[in-house]
Structure 1
Amino acid sequence: MELRDYLQILHRNWVLFLIATLVGGGAAFGISLLQTPRYEATTKLYVSVRSDAAGISELAQGTSFARQAVVSFVDVVDSSVVLERVIEELQLDTTPEELRSEVSATTPLNSVIIAVTAANRDPETAAAIANSVGTNFSDIVVNTLERPEGESASLVRIETIEPALAPTDAASPNFTLAIALGAVAGLALGVITAVGRSVLDTRIHSSHDIESITEVPVLGGIPQDPEIKKRALIVEFEPRSPSAEAFRSLRTNLQFVEVDSTSRTFVVSSAGPGEGKSVTTVNLALALAGTGAKVALVDGDLRLPRVAEYMGLEGGAGLTDVLIGRAALADVLQQWGNGKLFVLPSGRIPPNPAELLGSEAMRRTIDALSGAFDYVLIDAPPLLLVTDAAVVSRLTSGALLVAASGSTRKPQLAAAVEKLNAIGTKIFGVVVTMMPPKGPDSYGYGSYSYTGKIEDTSRRRGITPETPTERG
């Protein structure tokens, strides 16, 4: 994954990150509320070594010895011999092992001061334990461990310079720290979830995903439009919408394909069903006809035809009648509107679609159409379900593949590309449909709004805008 991929993940999942952070911080706050408050009290002890001599060098040697001895004295603070005395003195209902977990001692580097800290649920008890540990520790070190033989006094002196006082604020739980750590943990979990989901997600979301699996160029992206469910002919009925503008952009890109060829015959297909290939084909045909070009729109899906329904035409007679010699091509071609767009419906569904589409009659039909029209667009079934699209693609200039954002999976698109490459079909490009109008995966038309409201001329043309809700 590249840096761009991670930035897209951050952009795409910022709501997840926000929720995970809030949940993590809230969970940490809730857990902290359930914890029993603990108080800490600290007493400070000063360690010195007495010298009978008054010279500076003797004093320096005593101080140096004290600094070295303090390191060892720290380990004596929570020893059993000290803690047993504390338990007996304070009448505590505990054992030295249990009390040891509540007592700690530290000393700064190159210092003769020992800080003894005791923790307890009761602030008064915490202060009493700290002071008792300090007193008993001093007595054991001075009068037992460091006392010389005989009656002479010990050279080591340990004095309390700051007794422990009952704390007013609990040391734990620390709500601020807990919430901060919980929020960071929640954010980290959210990031891990988003990255893992992105790595495991094989669906196509943007043109970059297509570029990562094939060198076939992306000719255009069509944003998701809820109006398509009501009327499939967006270019005709919603000419100023972002989707219509996207189809015109696709038309412009397609005009630069095969510029030196006299035949511009394209089969339009997809890897699987429900990716918007039929809607893309009919709107692309409308956009091309809008430039004044003569366009033939052929419904080559002889299994589940949709073109005639989308265009509002009678589809009882069409391509199958021409292929079996029952009707002439000119008799079943239907002009759409007042322009130069002609539609060839599929006709009746035959029992052998693949054989008809690969027949010599189909070749003659395509040759006749390509000779009479500037563009010929053939809507074909999905590539991975049946062989129809692959068969008819060999009779055309090449293929256009349709892939749906958030639906088509990368292995499916790669398999469709490989299937066409295996039979020598030229793939002119991929059209990404159902792209989100906004966000990191959008194609750039989400905020397109430059012209004002225009009159819907569909009624004056005698065209019914309603179309079936099912997409091809």
Structure 2
Amino acid sequence: MELSDYIRILRKSWLVIVVTTLLGLAAAAGYSLTRTPLYESQSVVFVQSQAGTGTVSELQQGSTFAQSRITTYVSLVREPVVMNPVITELGLNVNADELAESVKSSSPLNSTLIQITVQDPDPVMAADIANSLGASLAATVERIDTPAGQEQSAIKLTRVRDAVAAYAPVSPNVPLNLALGVLLGLAVGIGIAVLRSVLDTRVRSPRDVEQLTDRPLIGAIPLDPKAKERPLIIQADPLNPRSEAFRSLRTNLQFLEMDGGHTFVITSSIPTEGKSTTTLNLAIALADSGKRVALVDTDLRKPKVAEYLGIEGGTGLTDVLIGRAKVSDVLLPWGNRSLYVLPAGKIPPNPSELLGSARMKKLLEALSKEFDIVLCDAPPLLPVTDAAVLSRVTSGAIMAVAVGKTTTHQLEGALDALETVGAKVAGVVLTMVPTKGADAYGYGYGYGYGGYGYKTPAVKGVAAKAKAPAPKRRATAKASVSAADADSDAFDDLLKPS
């Protein structure tokens, strides 16, 4: 991952990081408050040789001998032979092993000093224990290090610094504990954020798409929380940033170099990725630019085009494919534009067979000759094979991918389904792109100028924010097509009812 990816992860999971950091701080504070304060006192004992104090050589030998004994005496401090006299003297209610846990002894390098450090909840008691241990150590060394037959030991221990009661506790170290708690909480939060990002297989950025296909990204449609209330956003609110995104998609689509005409299947990996609203708004945007557009509802399982456009959809594509109606009878004009809609009609028992039939291929060929652009709203690829079958007889498929919803495995499976049947992927459209938050990074550029220089098309009787027009009667459809096409009879002849 690049630096920008980590920044996006931190922006996206900032709340988790803040919570874990606060939890770490709270845990450290709780730990510090529940610990018993400990005070530390230290006494220092000097070790010297008492033998051979006459010449320099003897002094040197005595110092060397004393240093050689230092390690032994440091360890001796925590032994019962030194501890027990102190326990008896001070009347402590502990044994030697328990007292040893609060005592540390050490010696600086190349010195003959022994440091005895004691920690205790009572600062006065800590000082008394340290001083008593120093005295007990001196007495013990003199007793056990005195050779038989001699009156004194060759080594003498002298307490050179008495322990004093401390004013402030050394434990718990509250500032250090709080700092460690914050760092630990921060590290845990960042770890959780990175782990969530690694385990999250949903499509979040164009890079996720680029890793699966080399087909171009031709559009990014921002998320609209009110999409269900106004699916035809380009008709309801032409100045909306989402409307501008569809016009950008229209421009990019017109520059696609595809062999075999401009007939496109718009599909997705799974349901509810916004492929139907993308198809409808794209069709309207193309018609607004002066293109003659045919919109065919090829979703013969859950058709939505007629419902969204507010037209009669009881008769449509299925009637044409079984030879029960002419194309011109069911191809309806919409919105006083050069946009003609072929609804799905009745839901058949064999959608895949109808869409893969020779008659469907002939229909698309006929429509591609009469219109500049033909758009087919198809079912998602993973649940059914309809879109894959249909994409074989079109210029290509346009994949709608919902950001934050579609997983990379689902998108890969959909692309594999198209590749299996030899279909082309014309491009990818990202839908439901967040306009705020970490995932919006890289998408928001230009959306702030959604209405810049744009004028609402002059549509007679329809305001810029009006609802979809009322349903058209099929009786006027043929007349409308005939008025637009001088050769409508030849168009109907291409698909004579059987």
Per the TM superposition, whether the score is higher than 0.5 is: yes
- Structure 1 residue aligned with 2:206: 207
Show CA shifts across 1:141-181 (max 9, x none). 2x123323333433323222221122221222211111111
The C-alpha deviation readout for 1:296-354, integer Å capped at 9, x for no partner, is 11111111111122223222222112112222212222222232222221122222211
1:101: how far off?
Answer: 0.8
Cα 1:366–1:124, aligned 2, differ >3 Å: closer, same or farther?
same
Correspondence for 1:465 among 464, 467, 489? 467
Residue number in structure 1 paired with 2:114? 114
Q: Which residue of 1 aligns with 2:404?
A: 406
What aligned pairs does 1:376-395 form with structure 2 within 5 A after superposition? 376-395=374-393
Distance 1:131 1:415, change over 3 A: same
SS in 2 for 1:126: helix
CA contact (8 A) 2:52 2:59 kept: no
For residues 22 and 218 of structure 2, the distance between their equivalents in structure 1, rounded to whole angstroms, comes to 41
Contact 2:245 2:447 in 1 (8 A): no
In the aligned structure 2, how far is the partner of 1:211 from the partner of 1:113? 71
Shift of 1:102: 0.8
* Partner of residue 338 from structure 2, selected from 326, 337, 340: 340
Match of 2:364 among 353, 362, 366: 366
Question: Which is worse superposed, 266-275 or 101-110?
Answer: 101-110
Q: Which residue of 2 aligns with 1:427?
A: 425
**TM value normalised by structure 1:** 0.91
Aligned to 2:475: none
The 5-angstrom pairing of residues 128-277 of structure 1 reads 128-141=128-141, 143-258=142-257, 261=259, 263-277=261-275
Q: Does the aligned pair in 2 maintain the 1:394–1:425 contact within 8 Å?
A: yes
What residue number does 2:291 align with? 293
Which one-letter code corresponds to 2:333 in the other structure?
Q
Q: Which deviates more, 79-88 or 110-119?
A: 110-119
2:103 corresponds to which residue? 103
CA contact (8 A) 1:230 1:466 kept: no
Q: 1:283 corresponds to which residue?
A: 281
Q: Is the 8 A contact 1:118 1:129 kept in 2?
A: yes
Could you tell me how far apart the structure 2 residues matched to 1:180 and 1:459 are?
A: 69
Instruction: State the aligned residue count.
Output: 465
AA at the equivalent of 2:134 = G
**2:439 aligned counterpart, secondary structure:** coil
Contact 1:312 1:464 in 2 (8 A): no
Q: What code does the residue aligned with 1:407 have?
A: K
Task: Write the distance in 1 (CA, Å) between the matches of 2:104 and 2:143.
Answer: 21
Corresponding residue SS for 1:317: coil
Q: Where do residues 425-464 of structure 1 align in structure 2 (5 Å cutoff)?
A: 425-442=423-440, 443-445=442-444, 448-450=447-449, 451=451, 460-461=461-462, 464=466
Kept in 1, the 8 Å contact 2:260–2:395? The answer is no
C-alpha displacement of 1:3:
5.2
Counterparts of 2:59 and 2:460 in 1: how far apart (Å)? Answer: 109
Cα distance between partner residues in 2 of 1:75 and 1:103: 11
Aligned residue for 1:390, secondary structure, equals helix
Residue identity opposite 1:188 in structure 2: A
Moved more, 189-198 or 299-308: 189-198
Task: Please report how far the alpha carbon of residue 2 of structure 1 lies from its aligned counterpart in structure 2 after TM superposition.
Answer: 5.3
Q: Residue 289 and residue 54 in structure 1: after superposition, are their counterparts in 2 closer, same or farther (change >3 A)?
A: farther
Q: CA deviation at 1:242?
A: 2.6
Deviation of 1:452 (Å): 6.8
* TM-score, normalised via structure 2 length: 0.87
User: Is the 1:319–1:345 contact (alpha carbons within 8 Å) kept by the matching residues of 2?
Assistant: yes
| Aligned 1:75-94 pairs, distance under 5 A | 75-94=75-94
2:227 counterpart SS class: helix
CA contact (8 A) 1:237 1:456 kept: no
CA distance in 2, matches of 1:84, 1:426: 90
Q: Distance in 1 between matches of 2:405 and 2:276?
A: 16
Provide the aligned C-alpha RMSD in A. Answer: 2.4
**Contact 1:231 1:466 (8 Å CA) reproduced:** no
Change (3 A) 1:465 1:109: farther
Cα distance, 1:284–1:99 mapped onto 2, change above 3 Å: same
- Matches of 1:239 and 1:436, distance apart in 2: 20
Q: Distance in 2 between matches of 1:57 and 1:6?
A: 69
Q: 1:470 aligns to what?
A: none
Measure how far apart 1:67 and its partner are.
3.4
Which one is further off, 243-252 or 298-307? 243-252
Contact 2:21 2:184 in 1 (8 A): yes
Amino acid at match of 1:76: L
> Percent identity among equivalent residues?
48
Cα distance 1:6–1:206, how it changes in 2: closer, same or farther (>3 A)?
same
> How far apart are 1:422 and its partner, in Å?
0.6
